[in-house]
Structure 1
Amino acid sequence: MTADSTPIRDAASVIVLRDRATEPRILMGQRGAAAAFMPNKFVFPGGAVDPRDAEVPLAEGLHEVCAARLAEDAAPNLGPALTAAAVRELWEETGLILGAPGRWQGTPGVDWTEFAATGHVPSAAGLSFVFRAITPPGRPRRFDARFFLVDADRLASDPDDFSRAQDELSHLKWVPLARAREVDLPFITEVVLAEVAGRLADPGPPPSVPFFRNTDEESLFLRLRGKSPLAAG
């Protein structure tokens, strides 16, 4: 068997949940027909980590339990970059702000200029790491994607105002969680949605985080608990 030479990029996706206790809805958008990865599919806002994301100041970091699980089986110090990428991708693809009022220390990078102009510093407050999956071999693009769940009341902007969104996703809308499978979803998104549905009653970090690790040799379903292999030994 020939090894898949497609590089695997670290990525972050954000599942924004609205009306958790009554009629839960999630924010989704549709990828373009010409997209190289998952064309026409409805997905969560998200994308690859930019090397500069590691330098972005956060008003508040990720919950320590989530941070430990994010660090498991990952490159050293990748967690803050993934968290910043989640905030940035949500902003770029929806125009929604996860941040706290404040001024940046230094000059924001080009990807963050418009975000900084809103008067906010990105914040991970409220983000919960709930899922991880590596794209299987044979796909045109592959990602090691981390999925973060956040309640819409954590947004520092109007949840219905997508006027500042870029054009990466179309048909942005709040989809009732119970009817989400009626739209065209990638398989992994369906799996993530099942995990979210099971977390509605508990907004805290999950007991463990599911991890679909797909390599050229095997596909494994693992659980991340925040302990590195060395620490466990």
Structure 2
Amino acid sequence: MVQLPDELALPEGFVPESPPDPPVTPKDAATVLLLRDGTAGPEVFLQRRVKGMPFAGGMTVFPGGGVDPRDADTSVAWNGPSPQWWARQLGCTEELARALVCAAVRETFEESGVLLAGADPGTVVSDTAAFADVRAALVSRELSLAGFLAGAGLVLRSDLLRPWSNWVTPEAEPRRYDTRFFVAALPEGQRADAATSEASDAYWRTPRAALDDWRQGRCGLLPPTWVTLTEIAECGSVAEALSTERVLTKVVPKLARRDGRWHVLMPGEPGHDGEGQ
């Protein structure tokens, strides 16, 4: 596991003065690292969340969000590794694996306009502009992913996703997520945008440039984002990132107060297995 730098601390107000007791049960969620090859190596799509958002407001993140119960709909037309395969990779039930993959596809489309689906198992949509109204209906929950794909005659392409990691929000926080991170290449012909109410800005950066932005105080990163960018920075191309074999284990950090700020303790660090947040 990548070691977090001492200067990486949570924003003020991120942790309540009185943590929930008992801790909140984490909500299942999916996050997707959209990648494309650039002149300086692979680039990742990042969004700066609106400051007023209840969770991670003002922070720079990857597209993603919580699982909708309808994401587990078995009627979704599916191509690629099966839900059974994904269940083994993600360490969960087949039903949850199906929901997580569908949530990854749905949230990526809602938040960036990138759609990991095609008219048949061998194709992927090259232009999603025609689905702008559908995108809004997905965001408002007027339409489910299964309903959208069926109506448009599209097949979900689970083969375009790869599992990357699994992070669980520390127990002291009032909003907790059990988040599976995926990686995917930007489909040819598609473009990622900032047309979402949840982000004030969106852009492409190499992982190293994004980490430099953080060091220079130009953006805020939560520990899972910082670690993931550091890991992706070791990949020389999108193909290398997609071919990297990953064994997922739940990373459940704890929090410690140092020098008046909340810091994250990673598994294996001194104090993680002792008393505290």
User: Normalised by the shorter chain, which TM-score bucket?
Assistant: 0.7 to 0.9
Residue matched to 1:43:
61
TM-score, normalised relative to structure 2:
0.65
The 3-state SS of whatever aligns with 2:226 is helix
Cα–Cα, structure 1 residues 220 and 187, in superposed 2: closer, same or farther, change >3 Å?
closer
Task: Output the CA distance in 2 between the equivalents of 1:180 and 1:45.
Answer: 15
The worse-fitting range, judged by mean Cα deviation, of 1-10 and 110-119 is 110-119
Q: Does 1:206 align with 2:206?
A: no
* Superposed CA offset, 1:114-155 (max 9, x none): 666665332212211010010001212100000000111xx2
Deviation for aligned residue 1:35: 0.9
Is the contact between residue 100 and residue 156 of structure 1 (CA under 8 Å) also seen in structure 2? no
177, 195, 203: which is aligned to 1:173?
203
Deviation for aligned residue 1:196: 2.0
Counterparts of residues 1-40 of structure 1 (less than 5 Å) = 3-19=21-37, 23-40=41-58
Cα–Cα, structure 1 residues 199 and 129, in superposed 2: closer, same or farther, change >3 Å?
farther
Deviation for aligned residue 1:210: 4.6
Residue matched to 2:221:
185
126, 132, 138: which is aligned to 2:160?
126
Is the contact between residue 135 and residue 142 of structure 1 (CA under 8 Å) also seen in structure 2? yes
Task: Output the CA distance in 2 between the equivalents of 1:202 and 1:31.
Answer: 25
Deviation for aligned residue 1:209: 2.6
The 3-state SS of whatever aligns with 1:62 is coil
TM-score, normalised relative to structure 1:
0.76
Cα–Cα, structure 1 residues 81 and 65, in superposed 2: closer, same or farther, change >3 Å?
closer
* Superposed CA offset, 1:150-197 (max 9, x none): 111xx265224x27x431223111112221121321121101122222
The worse-fitting range, judged by mean Cα deviation, of 60-69 and 142-151 is 60-69
170, 175, 179: which is aligned to 1:141?
175
Task: Output the CA distance in 2 between the equivalents of 1:22 and 1:210.
Answer: 31
Counterpart amino acid of residue 204 in structure 1: S
Task: Output the CA distance in 1 between the equivalents of 2:45 and 2:107.
Answer: 13
Structure 1 residue runs of 5 or longer lacking an equivalent are 103-107, 223-233
Is the contact between residue 40 and residue 206 of structure 2 (CA under 8 Å) also seen in structure 1? no
Cα–Cα, structure 1 residues 134 and 178, in superposed 2: closer, same or farther, change >3 Å?
same
CA RMSD, aligned part only? 3.1
Counterpart amino acid of residue 175 in structure 1: R
Residues matched between the structures, number: 209
Residue matched to 2:273:
none
Counterpart amino acid of residue 47 in structure 2: G
Is the contact between residue 46 and residue 63 of structure 2 (CA under 8 Å) also seen in structure 1? yes
Cα–Cα, structure 1 residues 121 and 148, in superposed 2: closer, same or farther, change >3 Å?
same
Task: Output the CA distance in 2 between the equivalents of 1:2 and 1:171.
Answer: 32
Counterparts of residues 155-166 of structure 1 (less than 5 Å) = 155=187, 158-160=190-192, 162=193, 165-166=195-196
Cα–Cα, structure 1 residues 197 and 11, in superposed 2: closer, same or farther, change >3 Å?
same
Deviation for aligned residue 1:20: 6.7
